[in-house]
């Protein structure tokens, strides 16, 4: 088959832990370890020869799967399939439903999407915007032991970390707006997620920009005026310029998406 021979290095280690504790132990400080969660991003990289891992940690049997609700707090295991998030409250539910197609969503994982590296032709990791809007906490293992970070802190320093779960307080209201995809296999060029917390704080985040998803503090400061917030949002973003959309186009559509999402949030009770 063209372009797809599996070139295996001598001495490849494949680790298949059976529990969270075993996974943490096998991961260690993460040096030289390639994590294979759902495989939707990593396995093609290996098949096409872009990635030649020496030590592969497969998490399929490590548990880390499932959604737990305790009071107002929701905790999502890192290996929970994206399809299982579809019924969760806005913005996370609709954001998850906008990821790829049903079969890919059943295989791709919440933790994998959170950690998704920038693609060659498009940004990845739509769910990052939802987790940012929800002020989610990321529990991870690695050098120095277990750590719980805000999503911002985690995205800024995620190398050498193994995500265990992601948790957040249920928002009072949420909204989601995105540029529609030409096909289910495209990433959204821009995904905006907003949420109002129990204390009335509004958080606004966008995925599809250059690098990981970011919060939009200028928009948050004007959250009561959806139109003004949209115009202000562009100051907080370095726009991606890729095969999906030009930076020019993204810069002109972000205000529209922020306005739509915040208008919807204002109408939500």
Q: Indicate whether 184 belongs to the interface with another protein (CB under 8 A).
A: yes
> How far apart are the C-alpha atoms of 216 and 123, rounded to whole Å?
17
DSSP-assigned states of every residue in 182-249:
SSTTSPPS-EEEEEE-TTS-EEEEEESSSSS-EE-HHHHHTTTSHHHHHHHHGGG-PPP-SSS--HHH
Q: Which of 21, 106, 143, 235 binds another protein (CB under 8 A)?
A: 106
User: Which pair of structure tokens corresponds to residue 233?
Assistant: 């949002």
CB 258, CB 204: distance < 8 Å: yes
> How far apart are the C-alpha atoms of 102 and 87, rounded to whole Å?
13
Q: Indicate whether 40 belongs to the interface with another protein (CB under 8 A).
A: yes
Token pair 């093609």: residue: 44
Binding segment (CB under 8 A) for another protein, from list 20-28, 35-43, 110-118, 195-203: 35-43
Q: Indicate whether 47 belongs to the interface with another protein (CB under 8 A).
A: yes
Q: Indicate whether 117 belongs to the interface with another protein (CB under 8 A).
A: no
Q: Which of 31, 48, 221, 248 binds another protein (CB under 8 A)?
A: 48
DSSP 181: P
Give the DSSP H/E element, type plus range, for residue 101: none
Q: Indicate whether 38 belongs to the interface with another protein (CB under 8 A).
A: yes
Q: Indicate whether 156 belongs to the interface with another protein (CB under 8 A).
A: no
Size of the site for another protein (CB under 8 A): 31
Binding string, residues 13-32; x marks residues near another protein by CB under 8 A: -x-x----------------
Sites of contact with another protein (CB under 8 A): 1, 3-4, 6, 8, 12, 14, 16, 36, 38-40, 43-44, 46-48, 53, 56, 58, 60, 100-104, 106-107, 183-185
């Amino acid at each position: 088959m063209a372009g797809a021979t599996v070139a295996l290095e001598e001495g490849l280690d494949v680790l298949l832990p059976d529990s969270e504790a075993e996974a943490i132990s096998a991961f260690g400080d993460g040096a030289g370890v390639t994590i294979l969660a759902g495989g939707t991003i990593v396995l093609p990289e290996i098949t096409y020869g872009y990635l030649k891992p020496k030590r592969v940690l497969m998490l399929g049997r490590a548990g880390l799967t499932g959604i737990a609700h305790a009071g107002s707090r929701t905790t999502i295991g890192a290996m929970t399939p994206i399809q299982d998030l579809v019924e969760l409250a806005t913005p996370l539910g609709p954001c998850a439903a906008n990821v790829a197609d049903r079969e890919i969503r059943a295989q791709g994982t919440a933790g994998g999407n959170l950690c998704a590296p920038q693609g060659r032709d498009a940004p990845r990791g739509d769910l990052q915007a939802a987790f940012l809007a929800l002020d989610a906490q990321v529990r991870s293992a690695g050098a120095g032991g277990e750590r719980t970070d805000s999503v911002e802190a985690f995205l800024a320093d995620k190398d050498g970390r193994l995500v265990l779960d992601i948790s957040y307080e249920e928002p009072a209201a949420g909204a989601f707006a995105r540029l529609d995809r030409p096909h289910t296999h495209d990433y959204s060029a821009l995904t905006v997620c907003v949420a109002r917390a129990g204390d009335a704080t509004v958080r606004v985040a966008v995925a599809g920009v250059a690098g990981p998803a970011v919060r939009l503090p200028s928009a948050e400061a004007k959250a009561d005026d959806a139109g003004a917030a949209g115009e202000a949002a562009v100051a907080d973003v370095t726009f991606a310029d890729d095969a999906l959309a030009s930076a020019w186009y993204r810069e002109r559509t972000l205000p529209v998406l922020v306005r739509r999402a915040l208008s919807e949030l204002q109408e939500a009770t």
